[in-house]
């Protein structure tokens, strides 16, 4: 019995990651234990993230529900001094998640990265400070959680147009036009945003 428990516990504490095309942005796979009831997974563990090189303290959890697909949210970020790193995952459904490097002077400035995050897959995305974030829902009743490293600041929240041609995001094709808030439709292009992020050699 003890050996079974040890093997099970070792399985639970394994957390792996995959580097993306943009330095510092990580796709994370918290391990799962599956049985005939469903599964168990630690979706957040401070020490295990530190082992992956993520040394951030998250202070706020956010949850969004998008009932009817497709819903497009973003691109959003907070300026310094209330910059937010984010850990993003999906509780139900799936999304095409997108981040954009908005750090002026960065080798990947204005470049975007996108991937599918789903409840079925259980993957997550770690997004450092200095990136705008958005997503397109791919299923009905999709719920997305975000862990963030600073509190919401109305004075510092900013948006960038999801279809900014200087960024050139290739969103997945959908049979219906995405549902977008009036606020996101009115967002400026990146060139017109009062963005105070500068590249500081990886920070």
The span from the CA of 99 to the CA of 110, in Å, is 10
Domain edges within the chain: 17-31+41-192
Please give the Cα distance from 63 to 78 (Å, whole number): 17
Region class of 168: left (phi > 0), else alpha (psi between -120 and 50), else beta: left
- Looking at 29, 44, 76, 162, which residue is catalytic? 76
pLDDT(203) > 80: no
Average pLDDT for residues 2-14, to the nearest whole number?
Answer: 34
CATH class of 17-31+41-192: mainly beta
Q: Residue 119: is the preceding peptide bond cis (ω within 30°)?
A: no
- What confidence score (pLDDT) does residue 41 get? 86
User: What is the rounded CA–CA span in Å between residue 28 and residue 190?
Assistant: 28
pLDDT in tens, 119-177: 999 999 999 999 999 999 999 999 999 999 999 999 999 999 999 999 999 999 887 89
Q: Catalytic residue at 197?
A: no
Q: Is the pLDDT of residue 202 over 80?
A: no
Q: Dump pLDDT digits (tens) for 66-122.
A: 999 999 999 999 999 999 999 999 999 999 999 999 999 999 999 999 999 999 999
Task: Kindly name the residue from 29, 109, 146, 197 that is annotated as catalytic.
Answer: 146
DSSP bridge pairs for 88: 125, 146
Q: Where are the beta strands (DSSP E) in 9-141?
A: 15-19, 26-30, 32-35, 38-41, 60-66, 72-78, 86-92, 94-101, 112-118, 124-127, 131-137
Q: Is 68 a catalytic residue?
A: no
């Amino acid at each position: 019995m003890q050996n079974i428990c040890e093997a099970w516990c070792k399985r639970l504490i394994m957390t792996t990651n995959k580097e993306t095309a943009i330095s510092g942005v990580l796709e994370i796979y918290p391990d799962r234990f599956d049985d005939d009831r469903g599964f168990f997974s630690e979706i957040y563990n401070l020490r295990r993230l530190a082992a992956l090189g993520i040394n951030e303290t998250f202070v706020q959890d956010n949850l969004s529900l998008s009932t009817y697909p497709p819903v497009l949210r973003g691109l959003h970020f907070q300026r310094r001094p209330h910059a937010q790193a984010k850990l993003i995952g999906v509780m139900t459904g799936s999304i095409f998640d997108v981040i954009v490097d908005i750090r002026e002077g960065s080798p990947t400035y204005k470049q975007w990265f996108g991937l599918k995050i789903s409840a079925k897959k259980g993957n997550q995305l770690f997004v450092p400070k200095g990136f705008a974030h958005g997503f397109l829902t791919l299923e009905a009743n999709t719920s997305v959680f975000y862990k963030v490293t600073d509190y919401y600041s109305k004075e510092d929240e900013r948006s960038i147009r999801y279809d900014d041609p200087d960024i050139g995001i290739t969103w997945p094709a959908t049979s219906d036009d995405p549902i977008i808030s009036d606020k996101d439709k009115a967002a400026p292009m990146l060139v017109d945003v009062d963005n105070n992020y500068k590249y500081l050699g990886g920070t």
